[in-house]
């Protein structure tokens, strides 16, 4: 099996941090070579763009925001993701292009076809082999966001924004069920953990 490109995504407050640790442990226990990385970010330039994009003071147009997400992604692919995959190292990215469809497309209203054009240009044929999509109802997402002391530029959005974000994630997963493992993250940690482990084991045929 070639090195696999796996992404973890979902609305804010879906529990990504806890479950990234579950994924890391799954790879470690099996001694599989893997790089964990994130978007926006993963490179020096990407992290600088992340600061800018998450800063509530930043004023940016819809198209500029979308292009900056893809600018960070291009550098990330070039410097981190593609070199790792070429060396036979699996890659797990904390968010990827599904987030652009969901947040810039669903949340902000950028036409999804425009995002597809950028996806094809920046990624060529590369798509995640597996996307673990963590899903929680809107109320749970909002309650978790409201607990954070300092909200970033996206977390400051209102409930209707996150309704649209979640809808795009779920629509994309429904349209390509083989690529997505949709995990109901609104349950006991142990149950969510087991589902993630099962999704990984199934994907790797282990």
Annotated binding site for ATP: 10-17
Residue 135 interacts with ligand TMP (CB under 6 A): yes or no? no
Q: How far is the CB of 198 from ligand TMP (least distance, A)?
A: 24
- Cα 95 to Cα 21, 48, 164: the distances in Å are 15, 17, 17
Q: Which is nearer to ligand TMP, 4 or 100 (CB)?
A: 100
Residue 43 interacts with ligand TMP (CB under 6 A): yes or no? no
Residue 95 interacts with ligand TMP (CB under 6 A): yes or no? yes
Interface pick for ligand TMP out of 34, 69, 130, 134 (rule CB under 6 A) = 69
> Rounded distance, CA 72 to CA 74, Å?
6
Number of Cβ within a 10 Å radius of residue 143: 12
- Assess contact for 192 and 185: CB atoms under 8 A: yes
- Assess contact for 147 and 136: CB atoms under 8 A: no
Residue span binding ligand TMP (CB under 6 A) among the ranges 96-104, 116-124, 140-148, 171-179: 96-104
Q: How far is the CB of 144 from ligand TMP (least distance, A)?
A: 11
Q: Radius of gyration (Cα) for the chain, nearest Å?
A: 16
Q: How far is the CB of 17 from ligand TMP (least distance, A)?
A: 8
Residue 195 interacts with ligand TMP (CB under 6 A): yes or no? no
Instruction: For residue 185, report the phi and psi dihedrals to the nearest 5 degrees.
Output: -90, 5
Q: How far is the CB of 39 from ligand TMP (least distance, A)?
A: 4
**DSSP letter, residue 2:** P
Q: How far is the CB of 104 from ligand TMP (least distance, A)?
A: 6
> Rounded distance, CA 114 to CA 161, Å?
19
> 37: part of which helix (H) or strand (E)?
strand 34-38
Q: Which is nearer to ligand TMP, 3 or 20 (CB)?
A: 20
Residue 40 interacts with ligand TMP (CB under 6 A): yes or no? yes
| Site residues, ligand TMP (CB under 6 A) | 12, 39-40, 69, 95, 99-100, 103-104, 154
């Amino acid at each position: 099996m070639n090195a696999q490109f796996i992404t973890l995504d979902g609305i804010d407050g879906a529990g990504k941090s806890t479950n990234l640790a579950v994924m890391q442990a799954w790879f470690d226990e099996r001694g599989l070579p893997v790089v964990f990385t994130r978007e926006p970010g993963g490179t020096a330039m990407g992290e600088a763009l992340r600061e800018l994009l998450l800063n509530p003071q930043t004023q940016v147009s819809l198209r500029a925001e979308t292009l900056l997400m893809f600018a960070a992604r291009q550098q990330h692919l070039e410097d981190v993701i593609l070199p790792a995959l070429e060396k036979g190292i699996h890659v797990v990215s904390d968010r990827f292009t599904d987030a652009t469809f969901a947040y810039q497309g669903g949340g902000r209203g950028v036409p999804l076809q425009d995002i597809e054009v950028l996806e094809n240009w920046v990624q060529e044929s590369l798509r995640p082999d597996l996307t673990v999509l963590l899903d929680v109802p809107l109320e749970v997402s909002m309650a978790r966001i409201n607990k954070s002391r300092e909200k970033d530029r996206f977390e400051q959005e209102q409930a209707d924004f996150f309704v649209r974000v979640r809808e795009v994630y779920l629509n994309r997963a429904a349209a390509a069920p083989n690529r997505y493992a949709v995990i109901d993250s609104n349950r006991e940690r142990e149950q969510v953990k087991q589902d993630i482990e099962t999704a990984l084991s199934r994907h790797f045929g282990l």
